[in-house]
Amino acid sequence: MKQWAETRAVHAAITALVAAGGRGALATVISVRGSAYRHEGAKLLVRDDGSTVGNVSGGCLERDVIEVARRVMASQQVARRTWCGGPDEIAAWDLGVGCEGAVELLIEPIHGDRAAEYRVLEEEIACCVVTCVDPYATARLVLRADALDGSTGDAARDARLAAVAREALGRGGGALVREDGRLYFVESLVPPPRLLLLSAADDGREVARLAATVGFRVVVVDKRPGLLRPERFPSGVRLVEARAEALAPLAADLGADDMAVVMSHDFADDAAAVAALLPSGVSYIGVLGPRARTERLLGAIDAVAHRDDPRLHAPVGLDIGTDGAEQVALAIVAELLAVRSGRAPRSLRERATPIHRDADPVLR
């Protein structure tokens, strides 16, 4: 989820930089071996004034990457660099890499505003971006559904790469692919799930803030216009003034990747919201408040049979012990992430298998 939001922010910054006549370099993680803080596709834009957007590690690699980016800007020559974490995972974390192997980055000078990528990101359409890595070429392919922008200069090669990209489309993440004797980085960008949040009150605002930070496309619905002021919410959060009874069309648009949290503190509004959400395709319905209150909500809308619906999470949130809106928001968003990843919430020290995958980064 973070990759989409970060990539969108990076491309917006590239567009502004080019429009202002500035220079920059873009660093992209193209290969990871072992456990990593960031994965393939993570990006860091370095502007000519030294300012940055995005990140490619937990913070310790950025200083080195910025120095390489400065040289790339000066020479206008692409660089590929590998940072190795050392022989063991402890040493790797000490160096800031966080892996038992290597993290490879492609660092390229900015040429143009990358309008094709920026357009699909702004339109929230799944796409796949193919970049030639070895030997490096500035040409890019951007695949969205059946439309293909850009060219490598060879129509047959474009068709083969489009087929590879079409297979990757919708998966998310990135990988290196060999095609026609060349190495390409294939990055699949998928719009993150929407979070429909029924409350613009202070606790709802905290959920919206934290959910947007971790990458959800947040839609806040409330009937009180005074609470839906844009300055109360992060940029990018969609604000909808509507009564809960009018929620059905909005809920009907939700898919299996989307989630919803009901927390208006008004019994009638919460009941109407739950009634609209139960027939929808949403994968998660969180309801704030005691279990007994949710039972009454279900009874009020003749939906008691849904008390065992696996999508219904009531009371909403993880049992971490909370006090105040910020901690309640943390408990709720943590549960959203756990459900989305299909992981049972528990301490990482109880996990017997590696946290991250360790796979061959070259698909073919």
CA-based max dimension of the chain: 69
Of the candidates 222, 216, 237, 200, the one whose C-alpha atom is nearest the C-alpha of residue 333 is 216
Q: Is the pLDDT of residue 348 over 80?
A: no
Q: Which pLDDT does position 301 carry in this prediction? A: 95
Pairwise CA distance, residues 118 & 112, whole Å? 11
Question: What would the pLDDT profile of 37-96 be if each residue is shown by its tens digit?
Answer: 788 999 999 999 999 999 998 777 899 999 999 999 999 999 999 987 655 444 443 444
Q: Is the pLDDT of residue 333 over 50?
A: yes
State the pTM of this model.
0.81
Pairwise CA distance, residues 342 & 191, whole Å? 19
> What is each CA distance from 286 to 198, 278, 339, in whole angstroms?
10, 11, 11
Pairwise CA distance, residues 107 & 29, whole Å? 9
Question: What would the pLDDT profile of 51-65 be if each residue is shown by its tens digit?
Answer: 999 999 877 789 999
Question: What would the pLDDT profile of 118-160 be if each residue is shown by its tens digit?
Answer: 888 888 889 999 999 988 888 889 998 878 999 988 999 999 9
Pairwise CA distance, residues 289 & 332, whole Å? 12
CATH superfamily of 194-341: NAD(P)-binding Rossmann-like Domain (3.40.50.720)
- Name the band, by pLDDT with cuts 50, 70 and 90, for residue 36: low
Please report, for the chain, the start and end positions of each structural domain, with discontinuous segments joined by +.
Answer: 1-113, 118-191, 194-341
- Residues of the chain above pLDDT 70, percent: 91
DSSP state of 297: H
Mean pLDDT of 320-341: 93
